Amino acid sequence: MSVDDHNLSALATELKAQALGLGFDLAGIAPAVAAPGHDRLLDWLARGRAAGMTYLERHAQARGHPRSVLPEVRSILMVAASYRPRDEAAAPRTPLGSPAQPTDPPRSDASPTGRVARYARGRDYHQVIWKRLDRLAQWLKNRVPGAAARGVADTAPLPERDFARLAGLGWIGKNTMLINTRWGSYTFLGALLTNLDLPPDQPHETDHCGRCTRCLEACPTGAFPEPGVLDARRCIAYWTIEHKGPWLPDGDLEPVAPHGWLFGCDICQEVCPWNRKAPGGTLDELQPLPEWTAPVDLRELVALPPAELARRLKPTAMTRAKRSGLVRNAIHLIAEACQHIQGRAEDHLPSALADDPDPMVSATARALLAAANGVRPSTAPTEDQGRSSPA
């Protein structure tokens, strides 16, 4: 395999054009260098800010260089795909610095509802991104016989935001999200690693956040101890997605209130000025599915037969939480909502959940019922409570 510098430059242009033609909204090339934020990652882990995400520690050293993903890597094509809902982008803008949807307490006659983060409302982004990266890899191998290429999105030990910045796709904001001046921060990232020495694009060196601190101030749980640093122990998204047991105090882990979120949280993005004018995403698959567009009726959700809930979750990234995690979250949201609506939590919760075959669901339901009767739940989950069924 031999490609001269002129042809490499033309190839890089072609490759980025192919990526945009497949529906990605941004594409740029980064050099395969040591990850620039690796020391910060190690310090973040050492301070315990990953909470229960032990997989990050297991792969911490591998994140130091993209060679851990492709040993012969020379350059990386970074891509981004917007998942911003088109109807939201077309709607009248909310006042600057306000969440994109009302956060007022529900009406006294309302059924409790929960919100789903925008990224999880459409089809599972892993499948959407991987499919296109596979096509890009095949195109590159056909274009340059002997070329090596591997596409990854989210699941490989590659610090995608750092390399997206090196590829010129945007800067890393105070809320730790990659932000682009046109597309904002509602984007998925993917990478195509190759052994071809493609000329890199100019890295994004300018921080356009300026003195704005809206994201830091809007977080209701104080998950940002300082600009650009997220403490997962205080993050709603961690507790509703990544935490695997009941929401009970355990060591230095003290559960946070869900603040209306069933799965994930978008508050620090909703208030970002760069998301106000961002257009809706290009790819149809990343647009919200009908059943996940509106806030979710929690009474309906917890009453769904497991097979029906699994059917509704299957196309989305919410399968990560499984039924056990999602129903656990819904139970906590019902308790939270009952501070504002008429009736007791027990009135909105099927009594059968206290005897649910999933130990995490039953433990959470019993803890809620005990709390409603003035009994404080135990401070640590039992061994059985810490496990969830595979359903």
The token duo for 279 is 């257009």
Contacts (Cβ under 8 Å, ≥6 apart) of 102: none
Cβ atoms of 146 and 194 within 8 Å: the answer is no
pLDDT of residue 102: 44
- pLDDT score of 389: 35
- Give residue-wise pLDDT tens across range 211-268: 999 999 999 999 999 999 999 999 999 999 999 888 877 666 788 999 999 999 999 9
List the beta bridge partners of residue 80. 26, 189
Say what the pLDDT of residue 132 is.
Answer: 99
Query: What contacts 24+ positions apart, CB below 8 Å, involve 246-251?
Result: 246/328, 246/360, 246/363, 246/364, 246/367, 246/381, 246/385, 246/386, 247/328, 247/332, 247/364, 248/367, 248/377, 248/378, 248/379, 248/380, 248/381, 248/385, 249/379, 249/380, 250/379, 250/380, 250/381
Predicted model pTM: 0.90
Residue 154 annotated in active site:
yes
Structure tokens at 27: 């594409």
154, 197, 250, 297: which one is catalytic? 154
Point out the residues of the chain with pLDDT beneath 50: 102-105, 107-108, 377-391
